[in-house]
A and B are shown apart, each in its own frame.
Chain A
Amino acid sequence: TQLLEQSPQFLSIQEGENLTVYCNSSSVFSSLQWYRQEPGEGPVLLVTVVTGGEVKKLKRLTFQFGDARKDSSLHITAAQPGDTGLYLCAGSSGTYKYIFGTGTRLKVLA
């Protein structure tokens, strides 16, 4: 069974701080996605990474896919209250089926 463990589970930080969220698995994925979900809404895709070692930047967010395609990280620089939400990673083995991580709930205090 494929599992994606995220850490930390909860994170409460002050505005302006940096943070990193990790997504780890013992399985290899052909692609990995990061989503953010806000209360009362469905998850919204932030990025898709497909190549081992790939790094993608989206404004203050930096995403990295591990060399072995088993893990990923999301780094947020100078966090803002608008970054508050549930961050989810999701891996696919190319079977049109996505396994979601356990989630990291981030709260950024003004």
Chain B
Amino acid sequence: KAGVTQTPRYLIKTRGQQVTLSCSPISGHRSVSWYQQTPGQGLQFLFEYFSETQRNKGNFPGRFSGRQFSNSRSEMNVSTLELGDSALYLCASSLGLVIDTQYFGPGTRLTVL
């Protein structure tokens, strides 16, 4: 079956702009989680959506937001970009069980100048 798709793969923005990243999960998966990966902080959980509802949220400022559509596709938005937002943003798709297998996409590399 097709894997998790993330678009775009690379993005360059300037401070103050906003950005929207997209994630298409594996067919049949209802949960999408988003993570930020940086060399200094590692992989940090942003939020998880299940059946169009945010079910969990990490410790990120309100500039980071997301949503999930009825077909389980998800988007995350970062407003008023800061230099520190430069990172690899990963989404993970799963069935949404308590003990689950997350399938990660290749990520979107965001560079903020």
Contact = CB atoms under 8 A, between A and B. Distances in A.
Interface in B14-41: 31, 33, 35
Band of interface residues on B: 20 to 34
B99 interface: yes
B98 interface: yes
B42 A102 contact: yes
A72 B8 CA distance: 35
A19 interface: no
Interface string B75-113: 000000000000000101000101111111111000000
Contact of A97 (B42, B43, B45): B45
Contacts of A50: 99
Interface stretch (A20-28, A38-46, A59-67, A75-83): A38-46
Contacts of B55: 96
Interface residues of A, number: 24
Given A42-B104, A42-B105, A44-B104, A31 B99 contact: yes
Nearest to B48: A96
A43 B85 CA distance: 20
Interface of B: 4, 31, 33, 35, 42-45, 48, 50, 55-56, 58-59, 90, 92, 96, 98-107
